[in-house]
Amino acid sequence: MSNRVLAPYGLRARSYSLVEVAVASGGVSQRDIGRILCLDKAHVVRLVDQVAAMGLVLRTRDPRDGRVWLIRATPQGAAIAEEAGRALDDAFGQLLQRLSETERDAAMTTLQRLAFDLEASDDEG
């Protein structure tokens, strides 16, 4: 469903996630992008190349470590991420409306537990 909702923006789930991470962080290393999105280095490079070619992010050298590339959202990238995020929120809201209150509560509990478990395993590793 996400890819269908994001298609009008020229994005897919991974490219949208990359732009969102770049917007939220104000600048993030490719290594951290890989960790956050659970992608290997080669996938991150291709994804950044693709999204940079769209004009949504740009690479800049980290002033603290010239060996590191920081990925920053462009103004266009930030605007598209905001629009696409609203479209995703609307789509997921409609999807969740189909569930009963009990089912929504159970789904949210499960998602929160998964998110907490992922964060805990990141802290351990």
Residues 15, 9: Cα–Cα separation, whole Å: 10
In whole angstroms, how far apart are CA 102 and each of 97, 98, 99, 108, 115?
12, 12, 8, 10, 20
Instruction: Kindly tell me if the per-residue pLDDT of 96 is higher than 90.
Output: no
| Rounded average pLDDT over 32-55 | 94
For residue 33, the one-letter residue type is I
Identify residue 115 by its one-letter amino acid code: A
- Beta strands (DSSP E) in 13-85 are 28-29, 57-62, 65-73
Query: Residue 116's pLDDT is what?
Result: 62
Give pLDDT, residue 121: 52
pLDDT surpasses 90 at 105 = no
pLDDT at 124: 47
